[in-house]
Amino acid sequence: MRVPGQLYLTYLLALCLGLLCMVFVAYWNATWRGGFAWDGSAKQFNWHPVLMVAGLTVLYGSAAVLYRLPLTWGGSKLPWKLLHAGLTLLSFLLAVLGLFAVFNFHNKGNTPNLYSLHSWIGISTVALFTGQWLLGLASFLLPCTPLELRRRAKPLHVWLGSGIFILGIAASISGINEKLIFSLKGLNGTAQYSALPQEAQFANMLGVLIVAFGLTVLRILSNQAWQRPEGENSEVTQPLLQD
List contacts with its own copies (CB under 8 A). 111-112, 115-118, 120-121, 124, 155, 158-159, 162-163, 166-167, 169-171, 173-174, 176-178, 180-182, 193-196, 200, 203-204, 207-208, 211, 214-215, 218-219, 222-223
- The SS3 assignment for 185 reads strand
Q: Given the complex with its own copies, which of 15 and 211 has the nearer CB atom?
A: 211
Q: Given the complex with its own copies, which of 104 and 177 has the nearer CB atom?
A: 177
Q: Given the complex with its own copies, which of 134 and 215 has the nearer CB atom?
A: 215
Q: Distance of CA 177 to CAs 73, 138, 203, 206, Å?
A: 40, 37, 9, 11
Q: Distance of CA 232 to CAs 5, 83, 145, 222, 237, Å?
A: 26, 20, 18, 23, 7
Neighbours of 19 (CB within 10 A): 13
Q: Given the complex with its own copies, which of 115 and 241 has the nearer CB atom?
A: 115
* Minimum distance from residue 195 beta carbon to its own copies (Å): 7
* Minimum distance from residue 239 beta carbon to its own copies (Å): 24
Angle between helices 117-140 and 78-108 in degrees, nearest 10: 150
* Minimum distance from residue 26 beta carbon to its own copies (Å): 18
| DSSP designation for 40 | S
